[in-house]
Amino acid sequence: MDRLHLMSVYVAVAEEQGFAAAARRLHLSPPAVTRAIAALEEHVKVKLLNRTTRHVRTTEAGQRYLDDARRILADADAADEAAAGINTEPRGHLTITAPVLFGRTFVMPGIVKYLEQYPETDIAAQFMDRNVNLLEEGIDVGIRIGELPDSSMRALRVGSVRLVLCASPKYLQQHCLNHQHGLPQKPEELLSHTIIASSAGNSAMGWRFNVLKNSKAQKEKTLRIKPRLTTTTNDSAIDAAVRGFGITRLLSYQVAPQLASGELEIILSEYEPTPRPIHIVHREGRYTSTRVRAFIDLMAKELRSNPSLN
């Protein structure tokens, strides 16, 4: 019985949450995957997976075994790479995560370039607008926007983005210049305007601004907004703003195409909070695999060279 093989099959099933998906990932037949999991559970004498007609989930013991199996497989890969030498070609599977719009716009081009450059690799890209625990969810590399909490993750800063207020020229002309409400000069005046909020972020109802204190130092102030439109995606908030419905607030990279085309304009830029850093993060180990190092190096170069992020 090849213990490492059984572990690799188990990790794939647990991460994909399904036997068929794991079989596709490993280029095995579904029966072969089923037999491997049965053999592993028979060997350890513990039920590792709960199976239903729709989902496969780890048991409590299975989650502990999953964490250990990932570590053992990573160490085995690292030992192979050390024996082969530092110049070995990247090969194997990577799981990457990033925010949805950021991943689609800035990360996917780098992923494609990486896969073209290293034909023995494959990548699962998980783009989602939520905090992802890399260790618990079996993810190798993440791109994070915002200050990082203290953790065991290694982080490489590759840029920053602004949190901007924006509206279409149509809205600014029709609803600001030609009506009783002028162009907002300070954050409090936003309460007299039509607000579009996206709940994809964590502050849909409270917007923070930097304001001058004693004409010198800056302090942060939170304005509780009353949006007329609240949407669950950033894309739809952008669309509503482009259509001239109101003022929205998003990260600068999310509206970079609309700002460049003139469909949206930034307002109250002097009150923007401190720019948010962009980091590439990965799980810390004794040393990083060749495929992870190569991906981080390529992605860092791509992101640092993009003027929208620096």
Q: Tens digits of per-residue pLDDT, 242-265?
A: 999 999 999 999 998 999 999 999
Q: Is the dihedral angle over the CA atoms 87, 299, 114, 306 positive or is it negative?
A: negative
Domain 1-88 is in which class? mainly alpha
Report the C-alpha gap between 13 and 7 in whole angstroms.
Answer: 10
Residue pLDDT, tens place only, 199-245: 876 555 678 888 765 545 567 788 888 899 999 888 999 999 999 99
pLDDT at 290: 84
Nearest C-alpha neighbor of 219 from the set 229, 227, 209, 230? 209
Does 163-271 match 1-88 at the fold level? no
Q: Structure pTM?
A: 0.69
Domain ranges of the chain: 1-88, 89-159+278-310, 163-271
Nearest to 75 by CA among 284, 281, 286, 282: 286
* Alpha-carbon torsion (169, 170, 176, 178), positive or negative: positive
- Cβ(23)–Cβ(32) under 8 Å? yes
Domain at 163-271: CATH architecture: 3-Layer(aba) Sandwich (3.40)
Q: Which CATH class is domain 89-159+278-310?
A: alpha beta
Query: How confident is the model over 90-127, as pLDDT tens digits?
Result: 888 899 999 988 999 999 999 999 999 999 999 999 99
Sign of torsion over alpha carbons 224, 227, 232, 233: negative
